[in-house]
């Protein structure tokens, strides 16, 4: 008998990407533990946290992966993207350069992630109104042009954090339940399921050994 936490209808892997310091780790801790940390701590290796939500009467377990600092060196491994069905591409509304770099992150996704991945552009730190450097309308227009959904959040005061994750998980659920996301080449791991396989593998420091194993 599984515990309640093990009972779910769908398991979705969602990755957090975006420049260092934009608030990815705090969005994750706010959503999964309702915690916020003022200090930016960077740990080594890939980490993820999970939380289950209800969508359309189904239990969706979100497995959300955090980069834990590799983005600083543009050294995110293929294992990070493997099996991901969603990505929150985060920038800081008070730091324009993090918004300019969204283009680079989109390219990174095109190169490394499944082409059907659902992408949500997230302008975080919306509480920093007096320091705003990226107009909402501009980001919204950019998102529309690139077929991304868009939201502004604050991990600090919790604004829209819940909504951001709810929206992307609902969007993924709609696509998966209509079977529009095709199985990846790792078919042996998803017997007859419409849910993409989730690979939980240790990735500490051995990026090179995995380089050629990605699902492209």
Quick one: what does residue 154 bind among Mg ion, ligand GDP, none, with the CB cut-off 5 to 8 Å set by partner type? Answer: ligand GDP
Spatial CB neighbours of 46, under 8 Å, sequence gap ≥ 6:
65, 66, 67, 68, 70, 77, 79, 80, 203, 204
The answer to whether residue 124 forms part of the interface with ligand GDP (CB under 6 A) is: yes
- Closer residue to Mg ion (CB): 71 or 152: 71
Neighbours of 189 (CB within 10 A): 13
The answer to whether residue 214 forms part of the interface with ligand GDP (CB under 6 A) is: no
Cβ density class 155-165: b for 16+ within 10 Å, e for less: bbeebbbeebb
Residue 161 near residue 135 (C-beta atoms within 8 A):
no
Task: Give the binding site for Mg ion (CB under 5 A).
Answer: 24-25
- Closer residue to Mg ion (CB): 62 or 76: 76
Quick one: what does residue 22 bind among Mg ion, ligand GDP, none, with the CB cut-off 5 to 8 Å set by partner type? Answer: ligand GDP
Among 3, 38, 73, 192, contact with ligand GDP (rule: CB under 6 A): 38
Site for ligand GDP in 13-32 (CB under 6 A): 20-26
The answer to whether residue 98 forms part of the interface with ligand GDP (CB under 6 A) is: no
- Closer residue to ligand GDP (CB): 77 or 154: 154
Measure the CA dihedral 64/68/69/70, to 10°. -70
Beta bridge pairs of residue 118: 86
Q: Which residue is nearest to ligand GDP (CB)?
A: 23
Q: How far is the CB of 162 from ligand GDP (least distance, A)?
A: 13
**How far is C-alpha 27 from the chain's CA centre?**
10
Candidates 70, 79, 76; CA nearest to 44 is 70
Residue 153-192 contact track with ligand GDP, rule CB under 6 A, x = bound: -xxx------------------------------------
Quick one: what does residue 82 bind among Mg ion, ligand GDP, none, with the CB cut-off 5 to 8 Å set by partner type? Answer: none
Q: Which residue is nearest to Mg ion (CB)?
A: 25
Candidates 158, 98, 159, 101; CA nearest to 133 is 98
Candidates 164, 171, 148; CA nearest to 10 is 171
Which residues are at the interface with ligand GDP (CB under 6 A)?
A: 20-26, 37-40, 124-125, 127-128, 154-156
């Amino acid at each position: 008998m599984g515990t309640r936490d093990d009972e779910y209808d769908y398991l979705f892997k969602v990755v957090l990407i975006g420049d260092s310091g934009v608030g990815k780790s705090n969005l994750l801790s706010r959503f999964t533990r309702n915690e916020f940390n003022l200090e930016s701590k960077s740990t080594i290796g890939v980490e993820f946290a999970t939380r289950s939500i209800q969508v359309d009467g189904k239990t969706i377990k979100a497995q959300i992966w955090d980069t834990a600092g590799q983005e600083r060196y543009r050294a995110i491994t293929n294992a990070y993207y493997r099996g991901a069905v969603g990505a929150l591409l985060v920038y800081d509304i008070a730091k324009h350069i993090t918004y300019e770099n969204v283009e680079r992150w989109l390219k990174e996704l095109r190169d490394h992630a499944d082409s059907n991945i659902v992408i949500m552009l997230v302008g975080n730190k919306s509480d920093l109104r007096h320091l705003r450097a990226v107009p909402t309308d501009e980001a919204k227009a950019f998102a529309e042009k690139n077929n991304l959904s868009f939201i502004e959040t604050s991990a600090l005061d919790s604004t829209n954090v819940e909504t951001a994750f709810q929206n992307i998980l609902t969007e993924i659920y709609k696509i998966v339940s209509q079977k529009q996301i095709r199985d990846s080449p790792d078919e042996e791991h998803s017997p007859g399921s419409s849910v993409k396989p989730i690979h939980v593998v240790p990735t500490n420091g051995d990026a090179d050994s995995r380089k050629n194993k990605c699902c492209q």
